Amino acid sequence: MSMIDVKELKAYYTTEKYGRIYRVRAVDGVSFQVHKNEIYGIAGESGCGKSTLLKAISGLIKPPLEILEGEVIYNFDDQSLNILSLQEDKQRRKVRGIRLSHIPQGSMSVLNPVRRIRKSFQDLIDAHLKLENRTHLNDMNMVKKHLDALGLEWNVMHSFPHQLSGGMRQRITIALATILKPDIIFADEPTTALDVVVQRGVVQLIKKIKKEQQNTLIMVTHDLAIHANLCDRLAIMYAGKIVEEADVNLLFNQPKHPYTQMLLDSLPKLGDKSTRTSAPGTPPSLINVPPGCRFHPRCPEATERCRREIPELVEVEKGHRVACFLEEGSK
C-alpha cells in the first residue's frame, strides 16, 4: 500500500533577473511511490532538486516556487488527500501539524533562541492539539514520556538553545518534530551540519522513532553513507529528475545508471590507496538543461541518442527503475 503517490510532478522557480524571466526546472517530471512504514531516501549532488522535491511533496509551496503539473496523494488510514489541491495555506497547515512533520537541517529555524526548549514544545502542542481538558501538566508529561522513549534527559528542557551542543539541538529538533506522532516525516539533510560521530547518534535516534511510531519517512541527503544506514529504498536524483530507484542494497550492489555508478565510485573505500577520481564535471544549470538525457555531458557512455532523446524511468527488473538507454538495450 502506498502512503504517498507522486505523479508527473513539475515544480519550477520563476525568477526575474535584469528584466528577463528565468525558470529553474528544479523538479521536472518526477513520479514515485512511498510505501507505508518505509524509509525512502532521496540522494544526488547538491543542486539536483532534492530539497525542492521535498517541499513540493509536503505542500510547502510559496513563490517563487510553483507547481506546474502533477499530483501528490497521501493515503492515510482514514482518508486520501490530494495535497496540491488543498486551499493554500490554512488547510495545508492543518494537515501539516498533526499528520506531517519536518526535520530541517539546522535547529535554529524551529527552536526559538530566546526561549527555553520547553517553551518550543509547549508552543507546538498549543498550536496543534485541540483536545479538551488539556492541562500544562498533561502536556509536559507527554513531552517527558517522549523524551524518555528517545533517551533524552528532561533537564535539557530548561536550557536555551545556545547552551546545547549542535548534536543535542538536532536531537531536540527531532523530538519536537515527532512528539505528535506524525504519519509522515520529511527530513532534509538532518545530519549534514554535524560531526560524523554525532551523525551516527542522530541516525540511531531516527531509527528508534520510526520503529516506535511506525511512521513513513522521506529522507533527503547527499550523504550516501547515511542512506546506506537508514533507508529501505533509495532514489537518485539528477538535474530535477529521478534517474534510478531501487531497494537500497540492490542499488549499492548493482547500480545501473552511470550517474549512480559515478556517485558510488567517488566514495572512499577502505584499503584502497589509489587517488580516487572524483565525479568529473558538475550538475547542469536547471535554467538551461541539456537536451536529451541531462547526464549525457558527464556520461562516459553517452551515445548520439542520449544527446537527442530523453530516457524514461522504467522498471528494468522488479523494484528497480532506471532512466538510461543502456538499460533499455540490455533487456
Ligand X SMILES: Nc1ncnc2c1ncn2[C@@H]1O[C@H](COP(=O)(O)OP(=O)(O)O)[C@@H](O)[C@H]1O
- Binding partner selected for residue 191 from Mg ion, ligand X, none, CB under the kind-specific 5 to 8 Å limit: none
Q: How far is the CB of 313 from ligand X (least distance, A)?
A: 17
Q: Is 33 exposed, middle or buried (0-12, 13-18, 19+ CB in 10 A)?
A: middle
Q: Out of 27, 29, 39, 51, which residue is the one contacting Mg ion (CB under 5 A)? A: 51
Match 584502497 to its residue by C-alpha cell: 272
Residue 18 C-beta: closest distance to ligand X, Å: 15
In the complex, the smallest distance separating the C-beta of residue 24 from ligand X, rounded to whole angstroms, is 4
Residues in contact with ligand X, counted by CB under 6 A, come to a total of 14
**In this structure, are strands 184-188 and 216-220 parallel, antiparallel, or unpaired?**
parallel
CA angle 167, 170, 174 (to 5 degrees): 140
Binding partner of residue 173 among ligand X, Mg ion, none, CB under 5 to 8 Å per kind?
none
**Per-residue binding letters, 33-72, with ligand X (x by CB under 6 A):** -----------x-xxxxxxx-----------x--------
For cell 527555553, what's the residue?
Answer: 116
Three-state secondary structure call for residue 255: coil
286 touches ligand X by CB under 6 A: yes
Q: Rounded to the nearest 10 degrees, how much is the dihedral formed by the CA atoms of 197, 201, 207, 211?
A: 150
**To the nearest whole angstrom, how small is the minimum distance from the Cβ of residue 281 to ligand X?**
15
Q: How far is the CB of 46 from ligand X (least distance, A)?
A: 4
Integer Cα distance of 271 and 192 in angstroms: 26
Please tell me the total number of residues recorded for the chain in this structure. 331
Report if residue 173 touches Mg ion, rule: CB under 5 A: no
* Phi, psi dihedral angles at 269 (to 5 degrees): -120, 140
Pattern 4-33, binding to ligand X, x per CB under 6 A? ---------x-x--------x-x-------
Q: Which three cell numbers stand for residue 297?
A: 555531458
Contacting residues toward ligand X, per CB under 6 A: 13, 15, 24, 26, 44, 46-52, 64, 286
Contacting residues toward Mg ion, per CB under 5 A: 50-51
